[in-house]
Structures are given as structure tokens and as C-alpha cells.
Amino acid sequence: MYASVLQRSGPTEPLHHQRVAVPLPGPDEVLIQVYAASLDRVDNYIRQGSHGMAVATPQTLGRDMAGVVTAVGANVRGFRAGDEVLALGSAAHAQYALAPYWHTLPKPPRWSFAEAAALPTAGRTAFDAIANITGLRSGERVLVVAASGAVGSFALQLGVHLGAEVYATAGQDWKRQTACSLGARAALNHYSADLVDEIRAAAGGAEMDVIIDPIGGELWERLLSVLAPGGRIVTCGVTAGARGSLHLGRLMTKGWHIHGIGRPGREEIAAHLRGCLDLMVAADQRPIVDRTFPLAEATAAHRYLEESNFFGRVVLTGAEESSPAP
């Protein structure tokens, strides 16, 4: 089969479209013929060797996939060859990949494979932040930072479905317009020096009950200025930096609840995957796919993601070369 292989990390290093062996499923794994696999910021960081993400190479990147089951391990129940699925696994940027059966779900019939591949990591993260950690309720005000990103786009969709007043930020006009078309009450420029005042004005002077922040860095401290007393903020990314300051006196008097997204165990991840999928289907919503690239053009897809000129997920689709089923 073909896979997109990282031979070594570096800002300008390309990925290599090359033949590798088809993996064999272990007792608890399903082997999936990958029709689509989404690209994540973490994949960017690993390829670049940045954000503390350097790994041993060579390595095939990717976790999120959708496709057709071709083989199952001895302990697998509920799946068989021919099933259309989405999954959170490993080495997904390939024509075949493995996933544990507990992180594998049936693909909704109306979803494309690209849409299904967009869900696992970003969708389950947004669901955990929105539904579990903050327990967002109908009528509450939620600020979704970087709403055009993978997690942000899901958080926006889920927040709207739950009946919250959703406010968004994005760095470009067209992204802000898209966020509003998806149900945001207002969308602000998170690069604006007047962001705090603009958020308050958009909300009629009110503050946010919940903030979902996948950016971090200097912006994190500014966001606290619009967090209501007793409000909840979840950090689920450090794209803009891993450092932020906090005035403990403000924390004490405001009674804020500050959360990291955490690293849940396999049972929790499985529940988040199922919860997000069920909520998206109930809302008749689909994951947002910005653009697809053939697997053979994975390097171009990485460059596109680095430019941040997208809304939703960037997805790799099966390579043009065929490989026989194992």
C-alpha cells in the first residue's frame, strides 16, 4: 500500500508518498481501508518538530480516518468486513490503517467519508469541552475562539444546537462571515486591540458564561476580562503559545472555573466520540470540510494548513494508486 511517511522533522521537510507494508490487526483492532483521513495541527507540529512534538522517524502521521473495515482482530465485536466506519486510530495517512474497536463507530449513511474523517479528534474535544467540562446550557453565552479551526468549528455547531448564545472569533473577514452564517450571534477579530470592548458591545454589555479557547498565549489573559463571575473557560490548544498570566486575586473574587481539556482514558474518549456523533446527527449537522487533497499531495495539504486560510477540517483522500485488500 501507499502511505505518507515523515522521514525526518523540520520546517521545510516534505512528506514521502511511498510503499509500506499493510499493517495486521491485533486482537482488539480493526483494519480499515482509508477513504479519507483528516489533517490536524498536531500533524503539522510533528512534521515541523515544533511545539515539543518531535518524534522518532520514519513515521506515518494521522489519527482520524473513515473508510471500510477489511479485517478484524479476534476480540473485536460489533464490526465486520465491509462496514463503513469512522475511527480514531494511528498512522491514518495511508491506504490502510488500524484503530482499536472501542474508538471505531459506524459512519452515518448521509455523511461523506471526508466529513466522517473530520470528526474524531476535534469533534470529541469540542464535545467534551461543551457538554461535559462546562455543561453548557441553553440560553448561556459562550465565546468560541478561533471558530474556523477544527475544534472551534465543532464547538460553534454544538453550541448553536444546544441553544446557547454563541459568539465567535476569527482572524479573517470571510471566516467571521461564515461563523455568523452557522449561527453565531456575532464574530469578532481576535487580532483586534479592542477585542474585549468589541465582545462586550456585541453581547450588549454582558459577559461570557463559557469560553472555549484553542489558541492560548497572550490572548488567554485578555479573554478572562470578558468571563462572567462563576464562568468557565476551557483551554484546548496552545497554537499562539503555552504561556499566560493569571491574577490570583481576580480568580478568587470572580470565582472562575479554569479547565484544561485533559487527556481522558479510552472509555472517556469512546463516550466523547459517541456523544459528539449522536449530537451532530440529532442536530442534522455535518462536520465542516474546507478542502480535500489526495494522499499523494500530503505535503501540499500541510502547507495549506500552515497558512491558516481554512474553515473546518483539511482532509486527505485515498491515493489514486490501488492496493489489494490484505
Nearest to 68 by CA among 93, 94, 96: 96
pLDDT of residue 135: 97
pLDDT of residue 13: 82
**pLDDT confidence band for 81 (50 / 70 / 90):** very high
pLDDT of residue 319: 43
Give yes or no for residue 323 having a pLDDT over 50: no
Q: Rounded to an integer, what distance in angstroms lies between the CA atom of residue 153 and that of residue 146? A: 8
DSSP track, 188-215: E-TT-TTHHHHHHHHTTT--EEEEEES-
Strand partners, 96: 33
pLDDT of residue 320: 41
Domains with residue ranges and CATH for the chain = 2-119+288-317 (3.90.180.10), 122-260 (3.90.180.10)
- Mean pLDDT to the nearest integer, 7-17: 87
pLDDT of residue 169: 97
pLDDT of residue 325: 44
**pLDDT confidence band for 318 (50 / 70 / 90):** confident
pLDDT of residue 97: 98
This prediction has a pTM of 0.93
Q: Tens of pLDDT along 292-316?
A: 999 999 999 999 999 989 999 999 9
**Which H/E stretch holds residue 169?**
strand 165-169
271 CB-near residues (< 8 Å, 6+ apart): none
Q: Rounded to an integer, what distance in angstroms lies between the CA atom of residue 87 and that of residue 83? A: 12
Q: Tens of pLDDT along 20-34?
A: 999 999 999 999 999
pLDDT of residue 241: 76
Q: Tens of pLDDT along 224-283?
A: 999 999 999 999 987 777 788 888 899 999 999 999 999 999 999 999 999 999 999 999
Main-chain phi, psi angles of 80, to 5 degrees: -150, 165
pLDDT of residue 245: 82
For residues 59 and 10, which has the higher predicted lDDT (pLDDT)? Answer: 59
Give yes or no for residue 178 having a pLDDT over 90: yes
Give yes or no for residue 12 having a pLDDT over 60: yes
**pLDDT confidence band for 69 (50 / 70 / 90):** very high
**pLDDT confidence band for 76 (50 / 70 / 90):** very high
**Cis link prior to 58 (omega < 30° from 0)?**
yes
Strand partners, 99: 30
Q: Tens of pLDDT along 39-68?
A: 998 888 888 888 777 788 899 999 999 999
- Mean pLDDT to the nearest integer, 133-160: 97
Give yes or no for residue 1 having a pLDDT over 90: yes
Main-chain phi, psi angles of 98, to 5 degrees: -105, 150
Give yes or no for residue 176 having a pLDDT over 50: yes
Q: What is the mean pLDDT of the chain?
A: 93
Strand partners, 72: 30
- Mean pLDDT to the nearest integer, 64-85: 97
**pLDDT confidence band for 321 (50 / 70 / 90):** very low
Q: Rounded to an integer, what distance in angstroms lies between the CA atom of residue 301 and that of residue 29? A: 28
